[in-house]
Amino acid sequence: MMLATRRQLAEAGVLGINRRNARFTLPCNPRKYYPRVDDKEQTKQLAQEAGIAVPPLYGVLHIERQVRDLARQVAPYADFVIKPAQGSGGNGIVVITGRTGSGYRLVNGVTLDERELAHHASNVLSGMYSLGGQPDKALIEYRVQFDPVFAGISYQGVPDIRIINYLGVPVMAMIRLPTQRSRGRANLHQGAIGAGVDLATGTTLHAVQDNAMVTMHPDTGNAITGITIPYWDQILALAARCYELTGLGYQGADFVLDSERGPLLLELNARPGLNIQIANHAGLLPRLRQVERSGAHVRGYEQRVGFAKRAFAHKEA
């Protein structure tokens, strides 16, 4: 099948980019709140104030001068992550897994020396990875030790869980699994696997890679479907609370599962992508309309999560 017809998409309730912008992001996401999600440092602060767990921040580099002190700043930590505050799509993130003498070891085993690491940090500051090339900040933060449940179905990187919230109600979820092709990144258009997640149980459903259905991880050979994500209710609750956190009516919340700290909020997105529909093999539109009709969004987050679990539970076809 090369093409779907407009009619088929409409029947499946697929949300297109024009409608997402005109009907959802433009009216529901006030521009003034965008910095809250575009700047990961701000997101982190807001989340911490609200008691939502995030990967702990070790330090922030604001100006080029601070890059010189980088080595001293990271000295207490065996492993850590450097990422741009305004990056997108996982670009510019360097994950240090350990030390080798004076060097820093990356996930793929390559070693960086002190100068190379500092270089990367100043690239981040110059805005190389930020939206629109604006000067940026570099965040140094805790490296997530991902939960062993995912060990068999991810390659090098950390899988993340994306939940779309409409008016504070979780409407669709997927988990993104890094592959060799995506170079350990949880980025769908770079070849990561996206698996739809049943909102009621947190169990993985269908999985796609490059829009084609897959049932097992190409690098590990383990089955992707039927895995239940631990702490699912807690994740849903955290996602629902992000509505109050940012004031954005239509947003995507990305979580990671840490083996010790549990679910951590990684980042929020004011223009979440539409590929989640392919991963779930379901259109967003009927669910968004259902949220509007229900009036669930005026209630507290517990009720919103309850509504989502009832309304959007996966039904066997």
Q: Which residues bind other proteins (CB under 8 A)?
A: 1-6, 8-10, 12, 14, 16-19, 22-23, 27, 89, 91, 119, 122-123, 126-129, 133, 135, 189-190, 208, 211, 213, 274, 277-278, 281, 283, 317
CB of 100 to other proteins, least distance (A): 24
Which CB sits closer to other proteins, 27 or 148? 27
Which CB sits closer to other proteins, 11 or 233? 11
Which CB sits closer to other proteins, 124 or 291? 124
Partners of residue 173 on adjacent β-strands: 163, 197
Neighbours of 168 (CB within 10 A): 26
- Can you give the three-state secondary structure of the chain, one letter per residue? CCCCCHHHHHHHCCCCHHHHHHHHHHHHCCHHHHHHHHCHHHHHHHHHHCCCCCCCEEEEECCHHHHHHHHHHHCCCCCEEEEECCECCCCCCEEEEEEECCEEEECCCCEECHHHHHHHHHHHHCCCCEHHHCCCCEEEECCCCECHHHHHHCCCCCCEEEEEEECCEEEEEEEEECCCCCCCCCCHHHCCEEEEECCCCCEEEEEEECCEEECECCCCCCECCCCECCCHHHHHHHHHHHHHHHCCCEEEEEEEEECCCEEEEEEEECCCCCCHHHHHCCCCHHHHHHHHHHCHHHCCHHHHHHHHHHHCCCCCC
CB of 124 to other proteins, least distance (A): 11
Which CB sits closer to other proteins, 191 or 262? 191
Sign of CA dihedral 135, 266, 264, 234: positive
CB of 244 to other proteins, least distance (A): 24
Tokens of 105: 């070891």
Which CB sits closer to other proteins, 239 or 284? 284
CB of 303 to other proteins, least distance (A): 27
CB of 126 to other proteins, least distance (A): 5
**Could you tell me the strand order of the sheet in which 80-84 lies?**
57-61, 138-141, 80-84, 94-100, 103-106, 111-112
Which CB sits closer to other proteins, 151 or 213? 213
Which CB sits closer to other proteins, 182 or 263? 182
Which CB sits closer to other proteins, 128 or 149? 128
Which CB sits closer to other proteins, 1 or 75? 1
CB of 222 to other proteins, least distance (A): 22
**Cβ-contact 301, 241 below 8 angstroms:** yes
What distance lies between CA 162 and its chain's CA centroid?
5
